[in-house]
Each structure stands twice: as structure tokens, then as C-alpha cells.
């Protein structure tokens, strides 16, 4: 942004490429705990009040979840509703009340105990602490007669908060939300996910954001991760011009390819049947990542083969004539499923998760493969090509075992391919042997960065280490892509980096054959590819690999970007 130097503003992590100018509206924080809340004179009546408040909050969150059914927001609201209805939480609060703690403090203390446990687990569970505390705030508000957290919007505005929970977001009139700025969170936080889904300019981890004056005019520049107070006319014109240029890109529905015709499939990431139906109506050339565990986040028992097959068949039918890459259950660690929980592990991110479930729950893996084979038959002729891949593959032997299990389940023949995800550094280092056992590979760059840099990918404070531009991560991507080229087997990318137009050029130059992303990023990535030759992409890849750190790698590639593309994307 040309005006950014004159207006340093706040720096954070941008989500998307868009920008917006508008007035600040702060989200109201949680209620105040009563400083002198007395011990209850009638403990059982106080317990009943706590249980009633928890039930009311659960009912409210459930209703909001149902109203947002089929969306990411609906899914996370449903998860928050389950937290409000957790019998263990209610039991601990009741125990504290009976021991003499006032009801509001009992709820607060019980939630903090659970939050500490979630944070110690890390990953997905640590990310859900914001949702848990949102439940607490709503219960405490009801118990003390205070207003619940939120913001009432009467005009289009930029929403500013320390962080946003799903309930906070659902309480907003999203038609009036111009952009989002938070002090906390990270690129994979709930706020970032919702912003991508809605196409809203967003900057997370913007230190000092809650100090912005309410009603003050700010420019939110997601492309550069900046929030500028009182932007001048130059900044406004640049944002307006970029928005118009990005809107114009949406009309291009051509397949992904470089300017000299080198094809790179542009695919969509999905998690539900509803996601698939929406994505099928876009210019996505298929699905590059179907996160099947999302279908069963709320399930207490393992889904039947028949239930799974019905859902998978619906997705295959939605993408008739295209391809759908299905990831088998990636349960465990940051994606806990009630029916796939393991015994307590000291380090679940390095424990039994993904394909490793075959060690403890082989029937779960086998049933899913059988369900996929049935789904292919149910979808019938003309359905999407079915590609199936296993997550967390670490060795060639595991790849061989998975391929054999898929074949035994009936996943073989024309229209079916079996592959693996490469997200463990060991698999990337020995990619030649791993790919020799299967039909294709798919790089999960989120987890690959996490394991390469020994940094929890959901811990916003380590975002610099988790940057996909880190040279060590790029080295492993390059090694895997090179192995795919040598073997004549496709290697795609389905992590967040695939949706970055600048990184997409580097990945193409490294030999990656497909890029899977949120549908909102398709137009920008397509434009970047169609504006550069394959040779230019290769030069960008080499420039990135030669850099000494993540920032230098990105800057080296940005210098090679065509000026008109740089202007449109705000780079």
C-alpha cells in the first residue's frame, strides 16, 4: 500500500487481499464479576440458577447454530453449544457453589479450570478456549443481570475486538460488517476462518487494536497486515481501486494455468456436503481436500458405513465430471472426535492421530474406506473422480499399507486414485519411496510447518515460525514436488499457502500440480498464475529457496512479480 509508509498504524497478520475504510465499532467485552458476591444461603437454589443459565446459553447457541447450518460459523457455534451443555462443567460449577462459592464466581472458576486443561493440550483444544470463555461470559451475564458481549451495529463498520468467539460473530449483523480487526488470534483462528469464508478484510494479532477510538475512521489493509487510522485520500483511492480490480477477477472462470499454458488445477477445500454444493457452483476444478472429520465433530459414536457413504456420495455427485480428493479421518490432537479419543497422551500432536488410528482402531479406518467404495457405486456414472488419501503418513511402509487397505476395500480401477498426505518431515525427506507406493501426494503445509519448526500451528504467538515462507519448509516442499516430477505422479498442496497468490507462483515453479484453497481465493490465485509464464514461476521458486529467511524469501519473489499483478493484489 503506497500510503502505508506515511501512516504506520498498527501491524498484524492479514487475512485475504482486500481492504476497506470505515468507522470503528468495538465489541462489548465480558461482564464484570461481582467483587463481593456472597456465599449462597441456599446452595441448591444457586446450583439450579447456574444450571438454568447454562441451559439457556446452550439453547441460544444451538438456535444460532441451526440458523447458520451448513456454514463454518454454524459448525463452531454447535461446538460452543456442546461446551455449554457439558455435564462435567455443570458438575464442577455445582461443586464449587456447594462449597460456598457464589454462582457467578463458581462458573468463572470452573471454566478457568477447563480452559487451563485445554491450553495444556494445545492445538485445536487451545484454540477453543476463546469459545469456552465466551460461554462463561454469557452465563455470568445472565446470573448477574448484565448485558452479554457483543456489538450493536446501526451502520456499516469495522468490528474491533480483543478476539471474537463464534457467539460474538453470530450476534453481529454481518451485512453491516465491513472488516474485522483483533488483538489476538492467528491466521487459523476462528476469526480468520470466518473472515475468509465471508470475504471480509481482516487483520488479526494487531497489537493496540482495542485502543482505537470508537467511531474513528480506519483503513483495514489485509494484503499488508496493517490498520491505518485516519487514512488519507491516496490510501482510500488505492483500496477502492484494488477492491474494484479484485471484484473484476471473479468473472474469470477459466481453468488454472500459467500464461504459457502449463496447467495447475485450482481446487476447493470443503468439510461438509453443504460446502461441496456451494463450491461446486464456483470455478473450482474440483475438491482438493475433503476434511471428512468435520462431518462427525458432534458425533458421540462412530458413524455407520451407510451414513458415511450417503454423505460421500452426495459430494461426489455435486462435483460430477470433476475430481474430489477425500482425506480419511484426521482425528486426534487438535481435531478430537468423541468416538476416536485416545488415552491421555503427553504430546497428542505427536501421538495417535490421522492414519495412525489404524494402530488402535483399525475398524474405523477400514469402515471409512468401505464407505467410500460404496459411495462411488451409489453416485453412479458421471460422478466425480474419487481420489482418497491418508493423513499423517510418515514412512513408505505406511503408504504401502494404506494402498493395500484401500484396494482391499474396493477402491481400485478406473476413476479411483489412492494417495497420501505429506505433512511429516520424515515423509518429505523420503518422498521418493513414499510416492513409489501410491498414485499421488498432497502437501499439508500447515502441519508440515508445525512439525518442521516445532511450533504449535494454532499458537498465534509463534506465527513467524509457522510462516510457510520459512526456507526449511520450502526445502521440504521442493523435495516432495521434485520427487513427484521424477516419478510422473501429481503432487498438490492443500494447506493455507495454496491460497496465497504469491506462494502459488512459487509452488508452481517447484513442480506442484494442483492448489486447493477456500473458494474466495480462487480468482486471485488464477490471476497470478495466468499473468506469469512457467519459466517465471521457476525463477520465483529458486529466488525463494535461495533466501535466508521467510521475509527475504517473500520479498525476493515479490520483486519478480509483474507490476500490474502487484497493484491488483496490493503487494
Grid cell digits, residue 239: 483500496
Residues 380, 312 contacting (CB under 8 angstroms):
no
Phi, psi of 271 (to 5 degrees): -135, -15
Same domain, 139 and 154: no
What pLDDT does residue 121 have?
61
Q: Is residue 37 part of a domain?
A: no
**Residue 2 placed within a domain:** no
What is the structure's pLDDT at 430? 98
Give the CATH number for residue 58. Answer: 1.10.274.10
Residues taking part in catalysis? 190, 494
Q: Is residue 34 part of a domain?
A: no
**Judgement on whether residues 487 and 528 belong to the same structural domain of the protein:** yes
**Contacting residues for 43 by C-beta, under 8 A, at least 6 apart:** 97, 98
Residue 108 has pLDDT above 80, yes or no: yes
The answer to whether residues 122 and 185 belong to one domain is no
**pLDDT band for position 40 (cuts 50, 70, 90):** very high
Q: What are phi and psi of 360, to 5 degrees?
A: -115, -25
**Among the residues of 99-249, which ranges form H helices?**
103-121, 123-127, 129-144, 166-170, 190-198, 233-249
Of all helices (H) and strands (E), which one includes residue 158?
Answer: strand 157-161
CA–CA dist 230, 320 (Å, integer) = 49
Residue 273 located in a structural domain: yes
CA 212 → CA 9, 190, 259, 445, 454, distances in Å? 10, 22, 44, 34, 35
The range of the structural domain enclosing residue 437 comes to 250-569
DSSP codes of every residue in 96-142: HHHTT--HHHHHHHHHHHHHHHHHHH-HHHHHTHHHHHHHHHHHHHH
**Among 375, 324, 332, 252, residue whose Cα is nearest residue 494:** 324
pLDDT at 339 over 70: no
Range 49-54 average pLDDT: 95
Q: Do 239 and 96 belong together in one domain?
A: no
Is 61 contained in some domain? Answer: yes
Q: Is 378 exposed, middle or buried (0-12, 13-18, 19+ CB in 10 A)?
A: middle
Percent of the chain at pLDDT exceeding 90: 60
If we measure between CA atoms, which residue out of 236, 212, 215 comes closest to residue 9?
212
Task: Mean pLDDT check: name the lowest of 37-46, 47-56, 77-86, 403-412.
Answer: 77-86
What average pLDDT does the segment 419-428 reach? 97
Does residue 374 form part of some domain? yes
Of 182-186, 394-398, 474-478, 486-490, the range with the lowest mean pLDDT is: 182-186
Residue-level pLDDT at 337: 62
Beta-strand ranges (E) seen in 230-357 are: 265-270, 286-291, 323-327
* Number of neighbours of residue 119 by Cβ within 10 angstroms: 14
User: What is the reported pLDDT for 159?
Assistant: 95
Is residue 5 situated within a structural domain? no
CATH of the domain at 430: 3.20.20.60
Q: Is residue 4 part of a domain?
A: no
Q: Are residues 25 and 101 in the same domain?
A: no
Task: For residues 48-56, give the mean pLDDT.
Answer: 94
Least confident of 335-339, 376-380, 497-501, 556-560: 335-339
Instruction: Name the domain boundary from 144, 170, 203.
Output: 144
169 and 299 both lie in a single domain: no
* Residue 24 and residue 91 in one domain: no
316 plus 330 within the same structural domain:
yes
Q: Are residues 370 and 384 in the same domain?
A: yes
Question: Residue 520's pLDDT is what?
Answer: 84
pLDDT band at 4 (very low <50, low <70, confident <90, very high): very low
The three cell numbers of residue 45 are 437454589
Cell readout for 308 is: 458415511
Write the DSSP string, 417-433. Answer: EEEEEE-SHHHHHTHHH
* Whether residues 423 and 539 fall in one domain: yes
User: What pLDDT was estimated at residue 2?
Assistant: 42
Instruction: Give the pLDDT confidence of 124-164 residue by residue, as tens digits.
Output: 566 677 778 889 998 999 999 988 887 778 899 999 998 88
User: Do 463 and 538 have their domain in common?
Assistant: yes
What's the mean pLDDT when you consider all of the chain? 88
Residue 380's region, left for phi above 0, alpha for psi from -120 to 50, else beta, is left
Residue-level pLDDT at 176: 93
Report the pLDDT value the prediction gives residue 30, as an integer from 0 to 100: 79
Cβ distance 533 to 543 under 8 Å? no
What per-residue confidence (pLDDT) applies to 7?
45
Beta strand segments in 230-371, E = 265-270, 286-291, 323-327
CATH number at 183 reads 3.50.30.10
Question: How confident is the model over 439-468, as pLDDT tens digits?
Answer: 999 999 988 998 999 887 656 677 788 788
Provide mean pLDDT across the span 16-28.
91
Note whether 485 and 521 are same-domain residues.
yes
Give the model confidence (pLDDT) of 481-518 as tens digits.
Answer: 999 999 999 999 997 799 999 999 999 999 999 999 98
Is the predicted pLDDT of residue 307 greater than 80, yes or no?
yes
Q: What is the pLDDT of residues 194-209, one digit of tens each?
A: 788 778 999 999 999 9
What pLDDT does 3 receive? 39
pLDDT of residue 41 exceeding 50, the answer is yes
Indicate the residue among 107, 127, 144 that finishes a domain.
Answer: 144
3-state secondary structure of 291: strand
Number of domains in the chain: 3
Is the per-residue pLDDT at 49 higher than 90? yes
Q: Which pLDDT score, from 0 to 100, does residue 1 have?
A: 44
| pLDDT score recorded for residue 361 | 84
With beta carbons less than 8 A apart as the criterion, state whether 463 and 186 touch. Answer: yes
**Are 390 and 353 a contacting pair, CB within 8 Å?**
no
Least confident stretch, 200-204, 300-304, 520-524 = 300-304
What strands lie across the sheet with 10-11, from one edge to the other?
A: 10-11, 226-229, 217-221, 19-26, 157-161, 177-182, 202-204, 13-15
Domain end (from 144, 172, 193) = 144
Amino acid at each position: 500500500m503506497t500510503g502505508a509508509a506515511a501512516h504506520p498504524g498498527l501491524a498484524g497478520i492479514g487475512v485475504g487481499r482486500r481492504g476497506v475504510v470505515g468507522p470503528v465499532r468495538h465489541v462489548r467485552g465480558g461482564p464484570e464479576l461481582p467483587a463481593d458476591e456472597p456465599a449462597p444461603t441456599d446452595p441448591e437454589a444457586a446450583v439450579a440458577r447456574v444450571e438454568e443459565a447454562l441451559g439457556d446459553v446452550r439453547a441460544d447457541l444451538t438456535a444460532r447454530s441451526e440458523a447458520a447450518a451448513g456454514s463454518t460459523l454454524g459448525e463452531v457455534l454447535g461446538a460452543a453449544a456442546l461446551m455449554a451443555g457439558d455435564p462435567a462443567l455443570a458438575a464442577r460449577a455445582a461443586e464449587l457453589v456447594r462449597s460456598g462459592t457464589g454462582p457467578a464466581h463458581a462458573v468463572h472458576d470452573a471454566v478457568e479450570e477447563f480452559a487451563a486443561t485445554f491450553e495444556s493440550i494445545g492445538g485445536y483444544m487451545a484454540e477453543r478456549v476463546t469459545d469456552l470463555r465466551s460461554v462463561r461470559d454469557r452465563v455470568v451475564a445472565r446470573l448477574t443481570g448484565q448485558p452479554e458481549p457483543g456489538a450493536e451495529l446501526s451502520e456499516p463498520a469495522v468490528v474491533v475486538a480483543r478476539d471474537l468467539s463464534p457467539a460474538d460473530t453470530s450476534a453481529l449483523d454481518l451485512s453491516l460488517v465491513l472488516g474485522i480487526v483483533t488483538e489476538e488470534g492467528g491466521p487459523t483462528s476462528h476469526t480468520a476462518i470466518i473472515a475468509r469464508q465471508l470475504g471480509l478484510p481482516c487483520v488479526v494479532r494487531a497489537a493496540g487494536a482495542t485502543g482505537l477510538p470508537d467511531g474513528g475512521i480506519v483503513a483495514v489493509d489485509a494484503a499488508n497486515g496493517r490498520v491505518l487510522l485516519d487514512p488519507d485520500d491516496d490510501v482510500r483511492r488505492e483500496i477502492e481501486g484494488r477492491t474494484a480490480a479484485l471484484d473484476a477477477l471473479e468473472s474469470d472462470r477459466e481453468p488454472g494455468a500459467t500464461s504459457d499454458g502449463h496447467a495447475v488445477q485450482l481446487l476447493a477445500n470443503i468439510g461438509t456436503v453443504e460446502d461441496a454444493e456451494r463450491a461446486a457452483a464456483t470455478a473450482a476444478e474440483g475438491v482438493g481436500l475433503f476434511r471428512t472429520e468435520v462431518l462427525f465433530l458432534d458425533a458421540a459414536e462412530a458413524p455407520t458405513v451407510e451414513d458415511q457413504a450417503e454423505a460421500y456420495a452426495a459430494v461426489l455427485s455435486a462435483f460430477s465430471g470433476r475430481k474430489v480428493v477425500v482425506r480419511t479421518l484426521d482425528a486426534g490432537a487438535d481435531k478430537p472426535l468423541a468416538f476416536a479419543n485416545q488415552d491421555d497422551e503427553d504430546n497428542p500432536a505427536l501421538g495417535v492421530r490421522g492414519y495412525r488410528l489404524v494402530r488402535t482402531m483399525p475398524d474405523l479406518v477400514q469402515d471409512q474406506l468401505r464407505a467410500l467404495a460404496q459411495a462411488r457405486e451409489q453416485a453412479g456414472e458421471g460422478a466425480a473422480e474419487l481420489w482418497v488419501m491418508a493423513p499423517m503418513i510418515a514412512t513408505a511402509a505406511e503408504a504401502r499399507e494404506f494402498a493395500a487397505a484401500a484396494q482391499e476395500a474396493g477402491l481400485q480401477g478406473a476413476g479411483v486414485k489412492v494417495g497420501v498426505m505429506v505433512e511429516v518431515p520424515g515423509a518429505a525427506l523420503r518422498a521418493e519411496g513414499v510416492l513409489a507406493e501410491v498414485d499421488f501426494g498432497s502437501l499439508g503445509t500447515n502441519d508440515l510447518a508445525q512439525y518442521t519448526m516445532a511450533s504449535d500451528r494454532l499458537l498465534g504467538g509463534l506465527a513467524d515460525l509457522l510462516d510457510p515462507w520459512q526456507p526449511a519448509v520450502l526445502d521440504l516442499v521442493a523435495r516432495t514436488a521434485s520427487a513427484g516430477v521424477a516419478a510422473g505422479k501429481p503432487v498438490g498442496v492443500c494447506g493455507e499457502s495454496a491460497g496465497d497468490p504469491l506462494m502459488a507462483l512459487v509452488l508452481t515453479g517447484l513442480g506442484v500440480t494442483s492448489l486447493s484453497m477456500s473458494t474466495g481465493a480462487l480468482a486471485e490465485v488464477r490471476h497470478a498464475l495466468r499473468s506469469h509464464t512457467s519459466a517465471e514461476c521457476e525463477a520465483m521458486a529458486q529466488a525463494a529457496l535461495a533466501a535466508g529467511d521467510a521475509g527475504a524469501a517473500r520479498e525476493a519473489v515479490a520483486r519478480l512479480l509483474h507490476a500490474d499483478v502487484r497493484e491488483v493484489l496490493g503487494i
